[in-house]
Amino acid sequence: MSAVLKEQAVGVPVLDGWFTLDEQRPHLLGTRCTACGTYYFPKLKGFCRNPDCNGESFEEVPLSRTGKLWSFTSAAYQPPEPYVQVDKEAFVPFAIAAVELAKEKMIVLGQVVAGTGVESLRAGLEMELVLEPLADGKLTWKWKVAA
Amino acid sequence: MSAVLKEQAVGVPVLDGWFTLDEQRPHLLGTRCTACGTYYFPKLKGFCRNPDCNGESFEEVPLSRTGKLWSFTSAAYQPPEPYVQVDKEAFVPFAIAAVELAKEKMIVLGQVVAGTGVESLRAGLEMELVLEPLADGKLTWKWKVAA
Amino acid sequence: MSTNKDIAILGVGMHPWGKWGRNFVEYGVKAARDALADSGVNWRDIQFVSGAATIRNGYPGQVAGATFAQALGWQGAQVNTSYAACASGSQALAAARSKILSGECEVALVIGSDTTPKGFLKPQPGDRPDDPDWVRFRIGITNPTYFALYARRRIEMYGDTLEDFAQVKIKNAQHGLSNPNARYRKAFNAADVAASPMVADPLRLMDICATSDGAAAIIVSSVDYARKVGKAKAPRIAAISTVTPTFASALVEMPDIATDSAVAVPAQSFRAALPRKAYEEAGIGPEDVSLAEVYDLSTALELDWIEDLQLCARGDAAKLLREGVTRVGGRLPVNPSGGLACFGEAVPAQALAQVCELTWQLRGQAGERQVAGAKVGITANQGLFGHGSSVIVKA
Amino acid sequence: MSTNKDIAILGVGMHPWGKWGRNFVEYGVKAARDALADSGVNWRDIQFVSGAATIRNGYPGQVAGATFAQALGWQGAQVNTSYAACASGSQALAAARSKILSGECEVALVIGSDTTPKGFLKPQPGDRPDDPDWVRFRIGITNPTYFALYARRRIEMYGDTLEDFAQVKIKNAQHGLSNPNARYRKAFNAADVAASPMVADPLRLMDICATSDGAAAIIVSSVDYARKVGKAKAPRIAAISTVTPTFASALVEMPDIATDSAVAVPAQSFRAALPRKAYEEAGIGPEDVSLAEVYDLSTALELDWIEDLQLCARGDAAKLLREGVTRVGGRLPVNPSGGLACFGEAVPAQALAQVCELTWQLRGQAGERQVAGAKVGITANQGLFGHGSSVIVKA
Ligand SMILES: [Zn+2]
Ligand SMILES: [Zn+2]
């Protein structure tokens, strides 16, 4: 990854339209079935997956940006591509969180912010959504222990 | 395909061990089940495919190098890779033959030698096996109308 | 015996064939919802989802059954996904039938859908001399080669002509003109076909079918269930043959470069074996057939199938064609849907699409392409690696 | 009712698991021939070949059923190939059962075989933001992530420890020591496990199963046929559950990055649903189970399965483990074969290998790992995309 390419990636989301780019209070972007109210992340188009619902119309909605830690783990080894690769020695293990959103009644995965290891996590912790760059400079959502 | 690479390919078979390199009287190389006598081309190892045979032992055998033309066609367009590609304009259509080997009671496909088009073929013609290079210089077996 | 093995077709649905470039799940859900609506059965009541798999699209393409069960809404149904190349749809249908006849379920959804890549199919990259599919391309043998060898054999043995092959295309194009699910709805004449480029002598571009996006779905049930929901007169599936070849297989089949050797046991025709088993299972014969949907991967292949289905003596299919027997209005219409000539092949959906057509025909709902007095229909298809099928549907 | 749905297991066979680097057809034929020999049934008499497909190996890998039918010698049998990720084998078994119970065939070969690539599985190359499997790798979520999240949840909820997880590995390694089909036959102690590198906290390398080459085959028949060939006392398959999840699925499953939203309908456990359907079908309960073969993709997951199988209350599985209940010699041995810990996963073969083990156990042929007085065995597994299975075998 050249420095130039990385420069160009600053502020660019790793996945288009998956989250807002509001630096202070970002939100994941999902959809919601207008018939039965079920939320979808990533966004669902087409047909509602609730077997009792024939909904085919969805509205884009921001998901709750805080939730409770359901479980967590770490990536001790560098994930394979398409995860952006860095030198083996430069790889810094990171934590991963599964966070339960109360309003949406769903669990969403994501990395935990750099600097927070599994040793400082426990189920039930209040977590909030932030944005941080991956090694290619592109922004992804991450979970952070709420202040 | 560079001239140098092509030079190096002269006399090299397109598939290792599929046929003898005898320029005058080449043979396709198959195997034959030592239990039931069934021939296989390409060579089969492992287990005989005759449902009434439990044979697991095979001998390598040269197949008959002549047979009767069962049917034929042409390649009017250049086949896709792994067929060796040449410039679209340089591609010369070729004929393809399905030849019935009497002793082996099997039909084997192959290109027909350059210069023989479908207009000079008819079912029942006696055909014989020869070797000719593909565009990369590697040798393949082809069928030729027997003299 | 044969009547005990019947199941009922309660509903059928399709997504129109085309080159839409969208996700196969979308096509399949559309077809499934249409089939459910046609059947009057609620999605929650489906006890078994039988998917026909495609080998394309990476992972998700593999998992047709579960993918559609999720898209329609996970409701705890049993699921299975069958892969059998061109016969995937029939195998999925056979799986549903077994589940019903065994008493494990009463009503099932069978579904197949595909999104095809653009252009001709070609093998994965890499150097793989152990893979017959790689080998044959390496020495210049493409898919049309096989169809052309069969077609030329007809010319050599039976005196069929290029004009005969063109007439198959012309007939099927005429059939498909009014079919809302067909991709190509355009009439052709002999000059059009003769003007299309030669691909693999004697087959021209217009003799060979394209690949398409499309989806088909069928709701099948036990005969008791059909009665219970007021559909006692729904068309019945009387036979599904999915036999494998018998060694030694007589014809050189894609992707092989040689046939089996018949020195130890006699050579056998695979294509002929498929309908033979179907007739036996249904307890009827070729003389009972009102119409047939056969896999016209090439125009000439339709003629082979007519003979394999025993609808005429070996070598006489072109005569039937010339006499107009096989067109709608004739005594024994073949491919009234327009066939692959008008659809293009959507692999896991195609065998189901054939059954959808028979269903509409036997219900008398086929509009301009309706076969008068259709009572018994038969399908036939064949794919790679010893896969093939023949299904019999009766009114 | 349930007795009418029984089928008999006439023979089983396996190719040893390993990293042999040969073609999967070779493994499968070996397993099939062993199963045929074990059953005393002649290959020509097999009426249905039910293959479990793998997604690897390009084309040929897809067509397990027909590929093996050809390798054993085309003899005109009906064929089907099921794809259902880790549950492919069970779906193939279910397909054979339906064919038998429907009266369409008397005796069938069920077969699964795989050659796995070296190293960790990873997604196809390319940029595919619509593919959940691509997305999760893009943001750093690998296969072990999911297993680790479930494992950590146990620690947080039930107080399980890393030492508990290590004990699962130690137990299964002990079980597999004498299993001739196991790939790893080596005893471990707690220090060995603790010394293995952390992969995804709290799971170490030795907590996670490898991928292997291997094959398993089973000859099944109607109970009448079994009687006819003098095998009236052969073990019976009493249930095969292959249900899909029910929306809203409560756990985040590979390859998804979120669960279903449960705002409109309550969340449901998929894993718990699989054996529930199996017990119902067999007409027995967890109290009747003598032994279980469960999918220990991770050590901790074995504990989840024990609870999903209702062999103890939710959260009590580690207690059973600590008390020695789940080891051979205990009241309720789990994974007497050595499980995935000793085999490594050979996807399309694995669910069949579980049934092979139950068969040997119920026949009393399991040698040093024999579970005394084994009468009823149950399997459980789960794969991608809403696939899973649970099979009950009884003496
Ligand atoms: Zn809805
Ligand atoms: Zn032999």
CA closest to B49 among chain C residues? C247
Instruction: Say if C42 is an interface residue toward chain A (CB within 8 Å).
Output: no
Q: Do the chains contact at C66 and D77, CB–CB below 8 Å? A: no
Q: Give B59 Cα–ligand 2 centroid separation in angstroms.
A: 11
Write out the two tokens for C82: 């069958």
pLDDT for C161:
98
Do B49 and D73 count as a contact with CB atoms less than 8 A apart?
yes
Q: Which of residues 136-155 of D touch A (CB under 8 A)?
A: 136-142, 144-145, 148-153
C59·D249 Cβ contact <8 A: no
The whole-number pLDDT of residue C63 equals: 76
C137 touches chain D (CB under 8 A): no
Q: Identify which of C10, C14, C86, C53 has the alpha carbon closest to the alpha carbon of residue C353.
A: C14
Q: Which of C25, C29, C75 sits opposite A51 (nearest CB)?
A: C75
Report the pLDDT value the prediction gives residue D2, as an integer from 0 to 100: 36
In the prediction, which pLDDT does C101 show?
97
For A81-98, the pLDDT digits (tens) are 999 999 999 999 999 999
- Band (pLDDT 50/70/90 cuts) for residue B96 is very high
Closest Cβ opposite residue A46 in set C29, C43, C44: C29
> Which of A39 and B46 is assigned the larger pLDDT?
A39
Residue pair D66/D43 in contact (Cβ under 8 Å)? The answer is no
C41, C231 Cβ separation under 8 angstroms: no
pLDDT at residue number D1:
34
The pLDDT of C6-27, averaged and rounded, is 95
Query: Ligand 2 centre from D124 Cα, in Å?
Result: 40
Provide ipTM, 2 decimals.
0.92
Tell whether the model's pLDDT for residue D128 goes beyond 90. Answer: no
Q: Find the C261 Cα to ligand 2 centroid distance in Å.
A: 11
Which residues of chain D make contact with A107, given a CB cutoff of 8 A?
Answer: 252, 258-259
Chains that contact C by 3+ CB pairs under 8 Å? Answer: A, B, D
Give all strands (DSSP E) within chain D, no chain letters.
7-18, 48-52, 78-82, 107-114, 198-200, 203-204, 213-221, 236-241, 291-294, 376-382, 388-394
Shortest CA gap D70–chain B (Å): 6
Within chain C, residue ranges assigned H as helices are 24-39, 58-62, 64-72, 88-101, 132-138, 143-158, 162-176, 190-195, 223-228, 270-282, 299-308, 317-322, 339-343, 347-363
What pTM was estimated for this model as a whole?
Answer: 0.94
Which residues of chain C make contact with D21, given a CB cutoff of 8 A?
none
Average pLDDT over residues C6-10: 98
pLDDT of residue C56: 61
**Distance, CA C128 to ligand 2 centroid (Å)?**
26
Q: pLDDT tens digit string along C257-315?
A: 999 999 999 999 999 999 999 999 999 999 999 999 999 999 999 999 999 999 999 99
Pairing of strands C376-382, C291-294: parallel
Condensed to tens digits (0 to 9), the pLDDT of residues D254-282 reads 989 999 999 999 999 999 999 999 999 99
Q: What is the pLDDT of residues B115-136, one digit of tens each?
A: 999 999 999 999 999 999 999 9
Query: Is the CB of D272 inside 8 Å of chain C's CB atoms?
Result: no
Distance, in Å, from the CA atom of B3 to the CA atom of C289, rounded to the nearest integer, reads 62
**Structure-block tokens of residue C98:** 């077994």
How much is the average pLDDT of C23-46?
Answer: 96
Q: Which of A77, A83, A105 sits opposite D261 (nearest CB)?
A: A105
Q: What is the pLDDT of residue D384?
A: 81
Copy the structure tokens of residue C324. 């107009």
In Å, how far is D180's CA from the nearest CA of chain C? 30
DSSP 8-state secondary structure symbol assigned to residue D186: -
User: Letter for the amino acid at C284?
Assistant: I
pLDDT score, position C2 = 36
Q: What is the mean pLDDT of chain C?
A: 94
Q: How far is the CA of C257 from the centre of ligand 2 (A)?
A: 20
Contact D72 B47 (CB under 8 A): yes
pLDDT at D117 over 90: no
Per the document, the length of chain C is: 395
State the sign of the Cα–Cα–Cα–Cα dihedral A101, A104, A110, A113. Answer: negative
Shortest Cα distance, chain C CAs vs residue A133, angstroms: 29
Residue D120 phi, psi dihedral angles, 5° rounding:
-70, 150
D25 touches chain B (CB under 8 A): yes
What is the nearest CA distance from A53 to chain C, expressed in angstroms?
8
Would you call B39 and C137 a contact, using CB atoms and an 8 Å cutoff?
Answer: no
Average confidence (pLDDT) over A128-144: 97
* Rounded-to-integer distance, Cα D231 and Cα D223, Å: 9
CA of A14 to the centre of ligand 1 (A): 28
Query: Is the bond preceding D248 in cis, omega lying within 30 degrees of 0?
Result: yes
D131 → chain A, closest CA residue: A42
pLDDT tens for residues D72-86? 999 999 999 998 888
Give D102's contacts (C-beta < 8 A, 6+ positions apart).
Answer: C5, C97, C98, C99, C100, C101, C102
Chain mean pLDDT for chain D: 94
Mean pLDDT of all residues belonging to chain A: 94
A84's tokens:
């952006």
Residues C84-139: pLDDT tens digits?
Answer: 888 999 999 999 999 999 999 999 999 999 988 765 556 667 788 888 889 999 99
Within 8 A of D72 by CB-CB distance, chain B residues are 47, 49, 51
Check if the beta carbon of residue C73 is closer than 8 Å to that of residue C37.
no
Looking at residue C220, its amino acid is: V
What's the whole-number mean pLDDT along residues A9-27?
Answer: 92
Q: Residue C281 corresponds to which tokens in the numbers above?
A: 């299972």
Residue B49 clears pLDDT 50, i.e. is over it: yes
Is D74's CB within 8 Å of B47's CB?
no
Test C25 with A46 for CB contact under 8 angstroms: yes
Please provide the average confidence, as pLDDT, over all residues in chain B.
94
pLDDT band at D386 (very low <50, low <70, confident <90, very high): confident
Closest ligand to residue C72's CA: 1
Residue C1 has pLDDT above 50, yes or no: no
The ligand placed nearest to the CA atom of residue B39 is 2
Which distant-in-sequence residues (6+ apart) come within 8 Å of D380 by Cβ? D271, D274, D275, D292, D293, D294, D295, D305, D308, D309, D388, D389, D390
Q: What's the pLDDT band for C205 if we cut at 50, 70, 90?
A: very high
Separation of CA C179 from chain center: 16
> What pLDDT score does C58 carry?
52
- Contact check, Cβ <8 Å, C26/A46: yes
Q: Which residue has the higher pLDDT, A114 or B4?
A: A114
Model confidence at A36, in pLDDT bands (50, 70, 90)? very high
Where residue D302 falls among pLDDT bands split at 50, 70, 90?
very high
Q: Hunting for tokens 């000793």 — which residue is that?
A: D342
Q: What percent of chain C has pLDDT over 70?
A: 96
Residues of C within 8 A of B71 (CB-CB) are: 149-150, 152-153, 156
CATH top class, domain D1-394: alpha beta
Q: Number of helices and strands (H, E) in chain B? A: 1, 8
Would the CB atoms of D71 and B50 count as touching at under 8 Å?
no
Per-residue pLDDT at D180 exceeds 50: yes
Q: Determine contact: B106 vs chain D, CB below 8 A.
A: no
- Could you say which residues from 224 to 253 on chain C have a Cβ atom under 8 Å away from some Cβ of chain A? none
> How much distance in Å is there from the Cα of D116 to the middle of ligand 2?
30
What's residue A5's pLDDT?
64
Percent pLDDT > 70 in chain A is 96
Quote the pLDDT of residue A73. Answer: 98
Q: Among all ligands shown, which has an atom nearest to the Cα of D263?
A: 1
* D8-32 confidence digits (pLDDT tens): 999 999 999 999 989 899 999 999 9
Contacts of D135 in chain A (CB under 8 A): 15, 42
Contact between chain A and chain B (3 or more Cβ pairs less than 8 Å apart): no
CB-CB neighbors (< 8 A) of B82 in chain D = none
Residues of D in contact with A77 (CB under 8 A): 199
- Residues in chain D closer than 8 A to B33 (CB atoms): none
Give the number of the ligand closest to the Cα of residue B58.
2
Interface of B with D in 35-64 (CB under 8 A): 46-53
Q: Which of A106, A118, A121 to mutate to test the interface with D (most CBs of D within 10 A)?
A: A106
Q: Tell which of B40, B49, B50 to mutate to test the D interface (max D CBs under 10 Å).
A: B49
First to last CA, chain D: 18
In chain A, pLDDT over 90 holds for what percent of residues?
90
Q: List all residues 6 or more positions away from D137 whose beta carbon is below 8 Å from its beta carbon.
A: A79, A80, A81, A82, A83, D122, D123
**Cβ-defined contact of A82 to D149 (cutoff 8 Å):** no
For chains A and C, tell me whether 3 or more CB atom pairs sit within 8 A of each other: yes
